[in-house]
Amino acid sequence: MENKNTKFNFAKAMEELEKINRWFESEEVDLEEGIKKFDEGMKLIEFCKERLKQVENKIIKIKKQ
């Protein structure tokens, strides 16, 4: 779980959500596409919420040569 979350890029997910939001606000009336986008958005929101549950930050000290 932790591994998966680390690989998952929060910034990109938020960017995708913004894109979907913009699509919804456009005047298109394509219900089929809308349902697809809606599903995708809901999944991204869940991912992000899961990611927010991570509390720890990892510190790696660099050893000088």
> What is d(CA 15, CA 53) in angstroms, rounded to the nearest whole number?
19
Helix (H, G, I), strand (E, B) or coil at 55: coil
Nearest to 4 by CA among 53, 39, 64: 53
**At closest approach, how far in Å is the CB of 54 from other proteins?**
4
Site for other proteins in 13-52 (CB under 8 A): 14, 17, 20-21, 24-25, 29, 31, 34-35, 38, 41-42, 45, 48-49, 51-52
Interface ranges with other proteins (CB under 8 A): 5-6, 9-11, 14, 17, 20-21, 24-25, 29, 31, 34-35, 38, 41-42, 45, 48-49, 51-62, 64
